[in-house]
Amino acid sequence: MDYMIGVDLGTTSTKVVLFDLQGKAQAYANNPYPLYQDVPDMAEEDPEEIFQAVIAGLIEVMRKGNVKAGELKGISFSAAMHSLILMDKDNKPLTRVITWADNRAAKYAADLKKNGKGAEVFARTGVPTHPMSPFVKLLWLKNEQPDLFNKTAHFIGIKDYILFRLFGRYVMDYSLANATGLFNIFTMDWDDQALAMTGVKREQLPELVDTTYQLTGMTESYASVTGIDPNTPFILGASDGTLSNLGVNAIDPGVLAVTIGTSGAVRVVVDKPVVDPEGRLFTYYLDKNHWVVGGPVNNGGIVFRWVRDQLFAPEKITAEQMQIDSYEILTDIASKIPAGADGLLFHPYLGGERAPIWDANARGSFFGLTRQHTRAHMVRAALEGIVYNLYMVMLMIEGITGKPKSIQATGGFARSALWRQMLADIFEQDVNIPESFESSALGAVVLGMESLGLAKDLNVVKDMVGTTNTHKPNEKNFEVYRELLPIWIRLTRELSSEYGAIADFQRKHPNPQIKLADED
């Protein structure tokens, strides 16, 4: 049998999946690593830990799949966006991986918004002005850590680091280059103004290649330890968000992809770059015929985890003792509460927010609390708040690309029937849950198959993705949400004026006893 491997470099773990050429998963490995949060607003990872997770995953799936010589046709990559590593002249890391979730550059994002330069760069790069962006992170590093910045020989991302370790070359695909905020989506090259503002030289950045570009000649020592022929093609692949659209078969016009994992996103594919005139949505490259427009949210499943750990700790302990899923207990509790949580609203901004408000200072809140509300109401309101936030992103996309025709939904939330139904009710759309396994990894494999001539085009994914659940809107529920959504949206605008003040207070008076938990 012939195989492809999809490697998905995620925020909290690396997933390696062995697929046959019909898109069926034959072996799977998931190796986690910690997120380092030593100081407020930091969110870093260790590049060596991620590299070892990749090697361990490759070894595991090759062993589990009993892959024989000549059966592995290629390995293709997906990676989280916006990562940044500073490397010295000897190709050693000067920093850990500064991830998209790192908010230490918030001041520089705010300055760019005020002086209008952020909007100028956004118009050419398609990356909203936010501390997630390496463009903004580089301004922060240049100004606040000039000695470190000046020592740097190469500015790269996590996938570039992995491939350098395996092949000894710094290469970056257009998709992840696009996400740096340094890449001009109309010239398909590094943006001169962005480079001038950051002080980064072209020779300090990786070589730009297309998402279908192939590398061969893996370092012999790693080929030996993984059991992979060194001449096996490694396809660069693209960003995890764009590949998730491909992996759930949301590449036709008007098909919306909604993802809720640790974070979340709403995305739609267009055939050429379209930039939101208000700077709220990203525009990211997938391949020469497909661009993805959408908005990412910081606060997805990580909010559910907070609810579990902080509001339902006894239930979590009981679940662990009984060896059952604690999240299932919480969704069962929430299901007993009617849609709308009896008027309790929750803004899920526990880690600042990207889309729809693009405010790193945003903070979470419950609104409408009365004596009748219980913890059960709070968990229901939290789940609804996450979906309300995604709905706001959808409204923005609708204004740019038109009303969606259908929704393909994926992510950890898809295991919950309650959450799937909430999505259908709040969006007032049929929601399809594809059966595809690990959508970003599958998307990487489909792109790799096209690169290798094993697939005519990306539409082969249509034969690989089925539907396990379709949820239709419940009229009684969506009428409730129609009443509450305008209140929720107005509150978002009202509260935004005070987010900076409360965030400044929290930074001024940090509690050293409060430890941020690593994400699942």
450 lies in a domain? no
Q: Tens-digit pLDDT profile for the chain (520 aa)?
A: 999 999 999 988 999 999 999 999 999 999 999 999 999 889 999 999 999 999 999 999 999 999 999 999 999 999 999 999 999 999 999 999 999 999 999 999 999 999 999 999 999 999 999 999 999 999 999 999 999 999 999 999 999 999 999 999 999 999 999 999 999 999 999 999 999 999 999 999 999 999 999 999 999 999 999 999 999 999 999 999 999 999 999 999 999 999 998 889 999 999 999 999 999 999 999 999 999 999 999 999 999 999 999 999 999 999 999 999 999 999 999 999 999 999 999 999 998 999 999 998 999 999 999 999 999 999 999 999 999 999 999 999 999 999 998 999 988 888 899 999 999 999 999 999 998 778 999 999 999 999 999 999 999 999 999 888 899 999 999 999 999 999 999 999 999 999 999 999 998 998 876 655 443 3
137 and 69 housed in the same domain: yes
Three-state secondary-structure class, residue 465: coil
Nearest Cα to 168, choosing from 114, 222, 211? Answer: 222
For tokens 């940090």, name the residue. 510
The encoded tokens of residue 88 equal: 């010295």
**How many domains would you assign to the chain?**
2
In whole angstroms, give the CA distance from residue 304 to residue 32: 19
Residues 254 and 226 in one domain: no
Q: Is residue 493 a part of any domain in this protein?
A: yes
Q: Cis peptide before 40, with omega less than 30 degrees from 0?
A: no
Report yes or no: 132 and 101 within 8 Å, Cβ to Cβ. yes
Q: What is the 3-state secondary structure (H, E, C) of 496-518?
A: HHHHHHHHHHHHHCCCCCCCCCC
Domain that holds residue 90: 3-242
Asked whether residue 173 falls in the same domain as residue 299, the answer is: no
Q: Which of 242, 272, 305 is the last residue of a domain?
A: 242
If asked whether residues 335 and 408 sit together in one domain, one would say yes
414 within domain boundaries? yes
For the chain, the farthest-separated pair of C-alpha atoms sits apart, in whole angstroms, at 67
Q: Looking at the domain assignment, is residue 453 inside a domain?
A: no
Cross-strand partners of 267 = 257, 294
Q: Is 187 exposed, middle or buried (0-12, 13-18, 19+ CB in 10 A)?
A: exposed
On whether the CB atoms of residues 397 and 280 are closer than 8 A, the answer is: no
Same domain as 257, residue 233: no
Instruction: Tell me the two tokens of residue 468.
Output: 């396990």
Note whether 299 and 181 are same-domain residues: no
HEC sequence for 201-219:
CHHHCCEEECCCCEECCCC
Q: Are residues 191 and 124 in contact, defined by beta-carbon separation less than 8 angstroms?
A: yes
Confirm if 77 and 235 have CB atoms less than 8 A apart: yes
Residue 257 in tokens:
């992809």
Helix, strand, coil: what percent of the chain each, to 5?
45, 20, 35
Residue 454: inside a domain: no
Q: Measure Cα distances from 79 to 8, 199, 437 in Å.
A: 6, 26, 16
CATH code, domain with 184: 3.30.420.40
Same domain, 17 and 92: yes
Query: Would you call 73 helix, strand, or coil by DSSP?
Result: strand
Give the pair of three-digit tokens for residue 44.
């870093």
Task: Indicate if 280 and 429 belong to the same structural domain.
Answer: yes
